Amino acid sequence: MKATIVLLPGDGIGPEVTASALAVLRIIAETFAHDFMFVEHLIGGAAIDATGLPLPETTRAACLSADAVLLGAVGGPRWSDPNARPEQGLLQLRAALGVFANLRPVHVHPRTAALSPVKADRLVGVDLLFVRELTGGSYFGRRSRDADSASDECRYTVVEIERVLRRAFELARARRGRVTSIDKANVLETSRLWRETAIRVAADYPDVTLEHQLVDSMAMLMLSQPARYDVLVTENLFGDILTDEAAVLAGSLGLLPSASLGEGRRGLYEPIHGSAPDIAGKGSANPIGSILSAALLLRHSLGLANEAAAIERAVHTVLDTRELTRDLGGNANTHDITDAIVATLTRHAAARAA
Q: How far is the CB of 288 from ligand NAD (least distance, A)?
A: 8
- Out of ligand NAD, Mn ion, ligand IPM, none, what residue 46 binds, judged by CB under 5 to 8 A for its kind, is none
Q: How far is the CB of 246 from Mn ion (least distance, A)?
A: 11
Strands 209-214 and 231-234: unpaired
Strands 259-261 and 231-234: unpaired
CB under 8 Å to 208, separation ≥6 — which residues?
Answer: 169, 172, 173, 177, 178, 179, 202
Residue closer to Mn ion (CB basis): 16 or 240: 240
Q: How far is the CB of 9 from ligand IPM (least distance, A)?
A: 15
Alpha carbons 154 and 142: distance in angstroms, whole number = 8
As a dihedral over the C-alpha atoms of residue 304, residue 93, residue 238, residue 169, rounded to 10 degrees, the angle is -40
Alpha carbons 161 and 279: distance in angstroms, whole number = 37
Residue closer to ligand NAD (CB basis): 23 or 253: 253
| Using rule CB under 6 A, residue 254 touches ligand NAD | yes
Please provide the DSSP assignment of 48-88 as one string: HHHHS-SS-HHHHHHHHTSSEEEEEE---TT---TTS-HHH
Residue closer to ligand NAD (CB basis): 139 or 194: 139
Burial of residue 339, with CB atoms counted within 10 A of its CB: 0-12 exposed, 13-18 middle, 19 or more buried: middle
The stretch among 116-124, 227-235, 275-283, 304-312 that binds ligand NAD (CB under 6 A) is: 275-283
Contacting Mn ion within 221-240 (CB under 5 A):
240
What is the Cα gyration radius of the chain?
20
Q: How far apart are the two ends of the chain, measured CA to CA in Å?
A: 23
Strands 127-133 and 101-107: antiparallel
- Out of ligand IPM, ligand NAD, Mn ion, none, what residue 336 binds, judged by CB under 5 to 8 A for its kind, is none
Determine which one of 11, 139, 183, 336 is catalytic.
139
The stretch among 54-62, 70-78, 154-162, 304-312 that binds ligand NAD (CB under 6 A) is: 70-78
Q: How far is the CB of 210 from ligand IPM (least distance, A)?
A: 25
| Using rule CB under 6 A, residue 89 touches ligand NAD | no
Would you call 244 a catalytic residue per the annotation? yes
Determine which one of 67, 156, 184, 336 is catalytic.
184
Residue closer to Mn ion (CB basis): 73 or 304: 73
Binder of ligand NAD out of 67, 235, 270, 307 (CB under 6 A): 270
| Using rule CB under 6 A, residue 333 touches ligand NAD | no
Alpha carbons 129 and 242: distance in angstroms, whole number = 12
Residues near ligand IPM (CB under 6 A) are 75, 87, 90-91, 240, 272, 274
Residue sitting closest to ligand IPM (CB): 87
Alpha carbons 333 and 168: distance in angstroms, whole number = 36
- Out of Mn ion, ligand IPM, ligand NAD, none, what residue 76 binds, judged by CB under 5 to 8 A for its kind, is ligand NAD
Residue 280 — left, alpha, or beta (φ > 0 → left; ψ -120 to 50 → alpha)?
Answer: beta
Residues that bind ligand NAD (CB under 6 A): 13, 17, 73-76, 87, 90, 253-254, 270, 273-279, 285-286, 289, 327
The catalytic residue positions are 139, 184, 216, 240, 244
